[in-house]
Copies of this chain bind each other. A is one copy, B any other.
Amino acid sequence: MLSIRMEPQSMATSLTGIFTPNMTPLDAAGQINEAELRRYIDWLIERGVHGLYPNGSTGEFTRFTPEERRRIVEIVCDQTHGRVPILAGAAEANVRETLRACEAYKEYGAKSAAIVSPFYYRLSPGAVYAYFRDIALNTPIDVTLYNIPMFASPIDVHTVQRLAEFPRIIGIKDSSGDIASMLRMMAAVETTRPDFSFLTGWEPALVPMLAMGCHGGTLAMSGVVPEVTRRIYNLAKAGQWLQARALQMLLTDLFDRIIFGADFPEGVRIAVEARGFRLGASRQPIDASQVVDRTELARIINSLLERIDGVQT
C-alpha cells in the first residue's frame, strides 16, 4: 500500500534509535541484584538496543532511594562500558538534589540525564520552565526532558520551545502518545535547534512518529522484545513502511496486553521474566487479584518473535 524511503539525516542529532528503560532486578531480600542486572544489560545490547535508560518509569525510579538510584546508574554504565550511550534518569527531591545526581551520573559516564517534569504537584508551564531552566544552567551533563503527562506535570509546546534555547537541553522524550503535539514541538524547535532529539515513549505511536521524523524511542517493550523494536527501527530507516506498520500492529497488541493487563510496570516485569531473567518481587506489594497469565504472555511473545524472523530488514 505504501512505501517510504528515509534519506540520511543532514544533521546528526545527539540521540537516535531505541533506548531501553530497563528494569532493575531485585534479589530475595528486595535488594538490587547486581549480577542479574549486568546479565540483562548485556542481553539487551546484544539484541540491538541503541541505548539504555536506567531510572525511567518502567525502571520504577520512585521505589528506590536516592543512593540506590545512583548505584543503578553506576552499574549500568560500568557494564555497558561505552558500547551504547546511557540516558540516566535523574529525578530527585529538588533542583539541588537533581543536580547532584547529574554530577554523579557524569562521573559514571552517562551521556545525558533524562529528567522527568516535577511530579506529585501539578505545576503550571511557567514553573515547569523555571525548574528545567535552573537545571540547564547548572548541569555538568546534557539533559533530555521527559514529558509524561499521565504521571507528571505536562511540558507543553511553548515550554519546550523556550527550553530549547539552552544548549544543555538536547532533546525530549515524550510519553503522551500525542503525535500531533509532538509535531507541534518539532515545528517550534527544529529550525533553531536542528540537533534537538525527539524520542517517543509510547509504543503504539512508534511507526507514525518515525514516519514524521522522530529520532527514536525509549520503549518499555524494547526491554521485552528488543529484536522487534530494533527491526521496526531498521525497517523505518530503510523506508519499508508497509512492513514497519505490520510489525507496529503486533507490537501494539503486545503493549496493550502488558500495559493494561496489570498496574504499570508489573506487566513488564512478568514479560521480562518470560525472556529468562529473574527480576524478583516488586517493592510495591501486589494484590492477589492482579495475577497475570504468564503462560499466555510467553506464548504471545514467542509468536511475535517467530513472526519477525520472516520480515526482511
Contacts and interface: CB of A to CB of B under 8 A. Distances in A.
Contact of A7 (B2, B133, B209, B249): B2
B205 A179 contact: yes
Chain copies in the assembled complex: 4
Interface in A2-35: 2-7, 9-10, 30
A205 B187 contact: no
B211 A183 contact: no
A307 to B, nearest CB: 14
Interface string A238-266: 01010001001100110010000001110
Contact of A4 (B211, B263, B264, B287): B211
Interface of A: 1-7, 9-10, 30, 57, 62-66, 93-97, 118-124, 126-127, 129-131, 133-134, 150-152, 177-180, 183-184, 186-187, 202, 204-205, 207-209, 211-213, 239, 241, 245, 248-249, 252-253, 256, 263-265, 283-290
Given A97-B65, A119-B119, A287 B211 contact: no
A102 to B, nearest CB: 16
Nearest first, the 9 closest Cβ-Cβ pairs linking A and B are A126-B287, A180-B204, A4-B4, A130-B285, A94-B283, A187-B249, A208-B208, A211-B211, A2-B6
